[in-house]
């Protein structure tokens, strides 16, 4: 039996909302990101609110959504969380929030404590400083994966019952695995399938080694999301290998679908993205698909 996107019940494990009139997002306002993962992103510089999300996901059974911090003004780290709770009160979404806190700053624990008091907050995304390309040496200074203060801040998540959304490009996956192994009590979920931007044999070999290292940590899960590339169209043929291998490496019980909308919309529509994944995974049975598209995200982000 062929499963269509509209047949699924979906928990979207990763999306964004923003109100450019209410809040300040430097990358969407006055500090453009020259190396944005999908290239030029002018279409994103508009409000994206629940009605816009629901329009993109029209016809699909979205049971719940998880909002991941959208690089809101870092001088007001809790303000985005406050706003999202107002949005939830008016629109019934998002149903969980991954907030922000810098791990390496002196105020880290204060921010974690404040974020954890909000009822929808389930985790934190704090992006470590990374090398700009796969050929550059990994940074070791403040805010990097090797920074002792940064690692201490990461370790505090367990105290507050918070998970960590890990977002690094593929050339940092093995480093990240070493960090995750040191905090076995912190639940971790890798964003965007490990960002396999280099689809050549050497690039995929390095990505695969990092994914295997992360999967060896029982506390790490994987979001099958943001398969888009800067200089290529989103295609089933182009993404089949990384999707299949990511799920094979982590196992179906530790993988979850995430739309990354509206960002992924620069390359593909919401329904088309799910249809492409279903084509790639056509040999999976309905129980496995339900785990990927609904159950695993629901469990990880405690949505029951």
pLDDT tens for 262-292 read 999 999 999 999 999 999 999 999 999 999 9
Cβ burial 47-80 (10 Å sphere, 16+ → b, else e):
ebbbebbeebbeebebbbbbbbbbbbeeeebbeb
Distance of alpha carbon 101 from alpha carbon 165, whole angstroms: 11
Structure tokens at 178: 């070493």
Q: Which two tokens stand for residue 157?
A: 């998540």
First to last CA, the chain: 29
Confidence of residue 181 (pLDDT cuts 50, 70, 90): very high
Residues 6+ apart with CB under 8 A from 30: none
Question: Within 13 Å, how many C-alpha atoms sit on residue 9's CB side?
Answer: 12
Rounded Cα gap, residues 16 and 23, in angstroms: 13
Residues in Cβ contact with 37 at an 8 Å cutoff, skipping those fewer than 6 apart:
195, 197, 226, 228, 230
Residue 224's nearest CA partner among 172, 156, 296 is 296
Task: Return the CATH architecture of domain 7-300.
Answer: Alpha-Beta Barrel (3.20)
Average pLDDT, the chain: 97
pLDDT tens, position by position, 226-245: 999 999 999 999 999 999 99
| Other Cβ atoms closer than 10 A to 107 | 11
Distance CA 102, CA 128 (A): 9
- Rounded-to-integer distance, Cα 148 and Cα 236, Å: 41
Q: Is the pLDDT score of 179 beyond 90?
A: yes
DSSP string, 134-175: TTSPPP-STTBTT-HHHHHHHHTTTTTT-EEEE---GGGHHH
pLDDT of the residue at 36: 96
Under DSSP, is residue 181 helix (H, G, I), strand (E, B) or coil?
helix
The percent of residues above 70 in pLDDT, for the chain, comes to 100
Is residue 1 scored above 80 in pLDDT? no
Nearest to 297 by CA among 270, 259, 269, 265: 259
Q: Cα separation of 247 and 258, whole Å?
A: 14
Tokens representing 129 are 């400083």
Burial class (CB in 10 A: 0-12, 13-18, 19+), 122: buried
**Interacting residues of 159 by C-beta distance below 8 A, sequence separation 6+:** none
Neighbouring CB atoms inside 10 A of 20's CB total 13
Which pLDDT score, from 0 to 100, does residue 304 have? Answer: 83
């Amino acid at each position: 039996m062929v499963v269509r996107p509209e047949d699924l019940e979906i928990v979207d494990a990763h999306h964004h909302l923003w109100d450019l009139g209410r809040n300040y997002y430097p990358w969407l306002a006055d500090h453009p990101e020259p190396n944005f993962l999908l290239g030029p992103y002018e279409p994103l510089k508009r409000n994206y609110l629940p009605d816009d999300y629901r329009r993109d996901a029209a016809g699909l059974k979205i049971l719940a959504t998880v909002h991941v911090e959208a690089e809101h003004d870092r001088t007001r780290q809790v303000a985005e969380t406050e706003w999202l709770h107002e949005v939830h009160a008016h629109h019934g979404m998002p149903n969980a929030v991954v907030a922000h806190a810098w791990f390496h700053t002196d105020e880290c624990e204060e921010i974690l404590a404040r974020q954890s008091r909000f009822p929808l907050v389930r985790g934190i995304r704090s992006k470590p400083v990374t090398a700009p390309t796969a050929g550059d040496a990994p940074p070791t200074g403040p805010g990097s994966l090797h920074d002792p203060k940064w690692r201490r801040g990461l370790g505090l998540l367990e105290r507050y019952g918070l998970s960590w959304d890990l977002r690094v490009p593929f050339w940092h996956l093995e480093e990240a695995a070493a960090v995750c192994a040191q905090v076995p009590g912190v639940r971790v979920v890798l964003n965007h399938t490990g960002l396999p931007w280099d689809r050549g044999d050497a690039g995929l070999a390095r990505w695969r080694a990092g994914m295997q290292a992360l999967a060896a940590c029982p506390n790490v899960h994987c979001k099958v999301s943001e398969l888009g590339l800067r200089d290529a169209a989103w295609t089933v043929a182009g993404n089949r290998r990384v999707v299949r291998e990511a799920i094979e490496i982590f196992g179906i019980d530790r993988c979850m679908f995430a739309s990354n909308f509206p960002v992924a919309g620069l390359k593909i529509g919401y329904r088309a993205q799910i249809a492409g994944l279903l084509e790639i995974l056509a040999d999976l049975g309905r129980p496995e698909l339900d785990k990927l598209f609904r159950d695993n995200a629901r469990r990880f982000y405690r949505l029951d």
